[in-house]
Amino acid sequence: MGSIATAALHDPQTLYARWEHSQWNPFAIDLTADADQWATLADRGLIEFVLGSLMVAEERITTKFSGLVGAHASEEEATFLATQQVDEARHMQFYARFQDEVVASPAAIAEHVGRARAHVSEAFRTLFDDRLVAAHERLVADPADVEAKVAFVTIYHQVLEGTLGLTTF
pLDDT at 161: 74
pLDDT of residue 166: 59
Determine the pLDDT at residue 160: 79
- Is 148 part of a structural domain of the chain? yes
DSSP code of residue 1: -
**How far apart, in whole angstroms, are the C-alpha atoms of residue 78 and residue 142?**
16
Q: Residue 53: what pLDDT?
A: 86
Q: Write out 24-66 in H/E/C secondary structure.
A: CCCCCCCCHHHHHHHHHCCCCHHHHHHHHHHHHHHHHHHHHCH
Residue 139 lies in a domain: yes
Q: Find all residues with CB under 8 Å of 109, minimum gap 6, and list them.
A: 59, 92, 93, 96
**Within a domain: residue 3?**
no
Within a domain: 83? yes
Does residue 116 fall inside a structural domain?
yes
Query: What total of structural domains would you count in the chain?
Result: 1
In 3D space, the residue among 27, 164, 165, 43 whose CA is nearest the CA of residue 95 turns out to be 27
Q: pLDDT tens string for the chain (169 positions)?
A: 444 555 678 899 998 899 889 889 999 999 999 999 999 999 988 888 888 888 888 899 999 999 999 999 999 999 999 999 999 999 999 999 999 999 989 999 999 999 998 888 898 889 888 999 999 999 999 999 999 999 999 988 778 777 766 565 5
pLDDT at residue 1 in the model: 46
At 139, which CATH number? 1.10.620.20
Residue type, 127: L
Q: Determine the pLDDT at residue 65.
A: 92
Which residues constitute the domain of residue 90?
Answer: 28-167
